[in-house]
Chains A and B, each alone.
Chain A
Amino acid sequence: MTSDFNINDLQLKYLELETLLDITNELNSFDQIPELLQEILVKSCAVLNASSGLILIEDDNSDVLHIGADFNLDISILKGLIFNKRKGIINELNETRKAFNFKIEQDSFLSKTLCKYGLMAPLLEKKNLVGVIILFDKESRKGISPFHDADANMLSAIATQASVAYNNIKLLESIKEAKTFNDNVMQSIVTGVFTTNLMGEINHINRAATNIINLEKEHVLGNHYEYIFESSQSITQLIAKCENESIVLSESQVKLEMNGKSTTVNISVSPLLNDLLEPIGSVVAMEDLSNIDKLKSTFKKYVSKQIVDQLLENEEMQNLGGQEQEATILFSDIRGFTSMSEGMAPNEVVETLNDYFNLMIEIIFKYNGTLDKIIGDALMVIYGAPNSTEKDTENAVLTAIEMQEKLIEFNQRRVINSQLPITIGIGINRGRVISGNIGSRQQMNFTVIGDSVNLASRLCSAAKADEIIVSETVWEYIQNNKSLKSRKLNPIKVKGKEKPIKIREIQYKRSSFNYEVAYNIIEEFLLHHLPKEYTYHTIDHIRDVVLQTERIAKKEKIGKEDIADLKLAAWLHDIGYIWEPNRHEARGAEYAYSILNSLRFPVQKINKICGMILATKIPQKPKNILEQIICDADLDYLGREDYSVNSLLLLKELRLKKQISEIEWLDIQYSFLSKHTYHTNTSITTRNKLKTKVLLSIKEKLKK
Chain B
Amino acid sequence: MSDFITSVKENNSIVIIETNGYLNNVGGEAVSAIVYEKMAQGQMKFLINMAGTKIVNSIGVSILIEIIEKLQEVNGKIGYYNLAPIVAKTFNIMGLTKYSSVFETEEVAVNEL
Q: Which residues of A contact B (CB under 8 A)?
A: 1-2, 4-5, 7, 11-12, 14-15, 18, 22, 42-43, 45-51, 71-72, 139-141, 143
Contact = CB atoms under 8 A, between A and B. Distances in A.
A51 B55 contact: no
Interface in B1-59: 21-22, 24-26, 54-59
Shortest 5 CB-CB contacts between residues of A and residues of B: A139-B25, A139-B59, A49-B57, A46-B57, A15-B93
Nearest to B65: A5
Contacts, number: 67
B59 A46 contact: no
B60 to A, nearest CB: 8
A45 B57 contact: yes
A42 B24 contact: no
B93 A5 contact: no
Contact of A15 (B21, B25, B26, B58): B58
Given A51-B24, A71-B22, A7 B62 contact: yes
Contact of B94 (A2, A11, A51, A72): A11
Contact of B95 (A11, A42, A48): A11
Contacts of B55: 42-43, 45-46
Contacts of B21: 72
B78 interface: no
A46 B90 contact: yes
Chain B: interface residue count, which band? 20 to 34
B62 A15 contact: no
A82 to B, nearest CB: 28
A11 B22 contact: no
Contacts of B89: 18
B102 interface: no
A45 B93 CA distance: 17
Nearest to A138: B59
Contacts of A18: 89, 93
A1 B67 CA distance: 11
Given A7-B95, A18-B89, A49 B24 contact: yes
B68 interface: yes
B109 interface: no
A15 B90 contact: yes
Contacts of A48: 57
Given A4-B98, A5-B99, A45-B55, 10 more contacts: A2-B69, A4-B99, A5-B95, A7-B95, A15-B58, A15-B94, A42-B54, A45-B57, A46-B22, A51-B24
Nearest to A137: B25
A47 B57 contact: yes
A18 B94 CA distance: 12
Contacts of B65: 5, 7
A141 B63 contact: yes
Given A11-B93, A18-B93, A46-B90, A51 B26 contact: yes
Interface in B61-113: 61-63, 65-66, 68-69, 86, 89-90, 93-95, 98-99
A2 B98 CA distance: 14
Contacts of B58: 7, 12, 15, 49
A42 B55 CA distance: 7
A168 to B, nearest CB: 22
A14 to B, nearest CB: 5
28 contacts: A1-B69, A2-B69, A4-B95, A5-B65, A5-B68, A7-B61, A7-B62, A7-B95, A11-B93, A11-B94, A11-B95, A15-B58, A18-B89, A18-B93, A43-B86, A45-B55, A46-B22, A46-B56, A46-B57, A46-B86, A46-B90, A48-B57, A51-B25, A51-B26, A72-B24, A139-B59, A141-B63, A143-B25
Given A7-B65, A18-B89, A42-B54, A141 B94 contact: no
A7 B22 CA distance: 19
Contacts of B24: 49, 51, 72, 139
Contacts of A5: 65, 68-69, 95, 99
Contacts of A45: 22, 55, 57
B12 to A, nearest CB: 28
Nearest to A14: B93
A57 B66 CA distance: 39
Contacts of A139: 24-25, 57, 59
Contacts of A22: 86
B95 A141 contact: no
A22 B84 CA distance: 14
A46 to B, nearest CB: 5
A43 B56 CA distance: 9
A577 B89 CA distance: 105
